[in-house]
Chain A
């Protein structure tokens, strides 16, 4: 249920709008200046603390980010599951654009902008997929990918006698 969200200020709610059949836009306000929000997105030691919330049931094993135009990133979740891509544009404190290449040709391009107003920052994130089918198939990205990959890994994990495989 939604009861847990009551403590959250209304203005800081996460909204999701499907702008077209191949683009999703997420908006959220933060009570911090844009330079801090940008820093939290661009410094690996900060980024890894929030990108993988507990509810995702995943652990980030490695996090390499070269946040500048043309730089690369790679997030490793263990078991050979990596999320990776390139930064197409990085403008300090205001914009980051990157590719999501683990999905091959169905990968999306993510654009995040930070706009500061009166000490608060409005974040707008757009995920643009190459086609409607790619978006439909993407589901919640990381979450669905986890399910898939863990399904593939199940056998191996059982064989190894670990307690993994719980997405």
Chain B
């Protein structure tokens, strides 16, 4: 993180301060997407999404490439974008595990209740 210049840092924080832009990053961590895809997913106009992607691009969090008439967005090479994607993957794994654990715990609680709370603690 030391190699970040102050202005780069400010641009990153400004870019990440918006909930839609964070959502876009999370989305791109899963797969590349066109501006049209993203606009649809976040239910906004193309112009609106272009602005958001522009801010992310300036901060170096996202790169875009125009092929034909489609502009494809992908996660930027910068450390922060990689980091955000890494954490997101990690969270997805544990989120999935813990949602299953919730179900197991519910069942344990039900069983304990029906067993007449023999072991009161």
Contact = CB atoms under 8 A, between A and B. Distances in A.
A24 B94 CA distance: 12
Interface string B85-114: 011011111111111111111101100100
Contact of B105 (A24, A36, A53, A136): A36
Interface of B: 23, 26-27, 41, 83, 86-87, 89-106, 108-109, 112, 121
Interface stretch (A63-71, A138-146, A154-162): A138-146
A38 B3 CA distance: 43
Interface residues of A, number: 35
A163 interface: no
Nearest to B87: A16
Contact of B94 (A14, A30, A35, A39): A14
Interface string A1-34: 1100100100010111010000010101011100
Contacts of A26: 90-91, 94
Instruction: Determine the main DSSP class of B at the interface with A.
Output: helix
B89 to A, nearest CB: 5
Nearest to B119: A35
B20 to A, nearest CB: 12
B108 A36 contact: yes
Contacts of B106: 31-32
A49 interface: yes
A54 B103 CA distance: 14
Contacts of A55: 92, 96
Given A1-B41, A2-B26, A50-B100, A141 B105 contact: no
Contacts of B98: 14, 28, 30, 50
A53 B96 contact: yes
Nearest to A50: B100
B94 A40 contact: no
